[in-house]
């Protein structure tokens, strides 16, 4: 593109500045996936597939069939990860990661473990445990 002499006259292109152009045309409500998983920033997820797939990553077969972002998430999730970690390590915005994770969970590629205490405020027993844990630091 040549530099516009009169940038004022150029019409804005919808979505031109968007990094996340691959977001699916649906959105999640309240961090909930279609099957009812809740994806908070600290929700744990991990991959369900066998790790042999890893080899295919280098010869490009898989990349041509699967969105590379989805594949990158599955790879990262060989280890237990939180939603926020995936977003940070793959440098993808949180909202995008949530949508992709929701897809992967629906496809049975990842398992959503949740937070272990639902999505409400922790109860007294859990607060006691956190307090004791912090005291031991």
| The only residue of 37, 71, 73, 85 in contact with another protein, by rule CB under 8 A | 85
Q: Please report whether residue 9 would count as binding another protein according to CB under 8 A.
A: no
CB closer to another protein, 107 vs 119 = 119
Q: How many residues bind another protein (CB under 8 A)?
A: 58
- What minimum distance in Å lies between the beta carbon of 49 and another protein? 11
User: Which H, E and C letters describe the chain, residue by residue?
Assistant: CCCCCCHHHCCCCCCCCCCCCCCCCCCCECCECCCCCECCCCCEEEECCCHHHHHHHHHCHHHHHCCHHHHHHHHHCCCCEEHHHHHHHCCCCHHHHHHHHHHHHHCCCEEEEECCCCCCCCCHHHHHHHHHHHHCC
Q: Please report whether residue 117 would count as binding another protein according to CB under 8 A.
A: yes
Question: Interface residues with another protein (CB under 8 A)?
Answer: 12, 17-20, 31, 40-44, 46, 51, 54, 57-58, 75-76, 78-80, 82, 84-85, 87-89, 91-96, 111, 113-124, 126-137
């Amino acid at each position: 593109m040549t530099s516009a002499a009169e940038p004022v006259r150029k019409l804005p292109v919808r979505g031109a500045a968007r990094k996340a152009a691959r977001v699916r045309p649906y959105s999640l409500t309240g961090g909930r996936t279609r099957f009812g998983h809740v994806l908070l920033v600290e929700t744990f997820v991990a991959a369900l597939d066998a790790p042999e797939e890893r080899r295919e990553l280098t010869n490009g077969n898989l990349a041509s069939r699967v969105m590379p972002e989805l594949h990158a998430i599955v790879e990262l999730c060989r280890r237990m990860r939180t939603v926020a970690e995936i977003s940070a390590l793959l440098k993808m915005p949180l909202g995008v990661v949530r949508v992709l994770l929701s897809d992967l969970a629906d496809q049975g590629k990842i398992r959503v473990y949740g937070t272990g205490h639902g999505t409400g405020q922790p109860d007294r027993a859990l607060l006691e445990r956190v307090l004791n844990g912090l005291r031991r630091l």
